[in-house]
Amino acid sequence: MDEWAALASRDPAPLLAAVQRDWGGRHDLWVFGYGSLVWRPSFEYAEQRPALVHGWHRALRMRSRINRGTPQQPGLVFALISGGSCRGVAYRIARERVAHELPLLWEREMPTATYDPRWLPCRTPQGPVRALGFTLSRRSPSLLAPLADDELRHILRHAQGRYGSTLEYLLETAASLRRCGIRDREIERLEKLARAL
């Protein structure tokens, strides 16, 4: 079995069960968004706050063979990779809604166990929260090495998946972060690269 088949065969259900056990059901549940969850959370939340996570950074380095690309022309999506820091959005799901909303979030983010879900300490203007975040291991076969600008341009021109293109995904993420007052210099650089296509 090759590494892609092995990855696709990983069962995300035990990870969901572990997250539900860790959460425990005694309080509201927080989720940290850093990419498409900023502009399309697709779950019902009671509150959102700007949030800062240390020890992780956003990078357009996760291969997408379905959502933003194909097996023949893989696209890219953002991943949360160890090192640095990341500004994003923390969403609070009311305790009584978690049983309904968490499986919807899981279906979207974890159709296979590509991500490593973990609890992230987030700083928010109203104080710290512990939020569920979807991180990517540096050992994952889905993680690409940093790409040269020519390779990025090729992907931005050609990669298209079931939810649209990598280009649309990048531009929507950039616009949404701006609307939230979040500066990300690397995304601004990538946006300039994309607009010069």
| Separation CA 65–CA 57 (nearest Å) | 22
User: What number of other Cβ atoms are within 10 A of residue 99's Cβ?
Assistant: 11
- Cβ–Cβ < 8 Å for 184, 58: yes
| Separation CA 180–CA 50 (nearest Å) | 8
Q: Is 151 a catalytic residue?
A: no
Catalytic residue among 44, 47, 96, 109: 109
| Separation CA 60–CA 70 (nearest Å) | 17
Helical (H) or strand (E) element with 143: none
Q: Which residues are catalytic?
A: 109
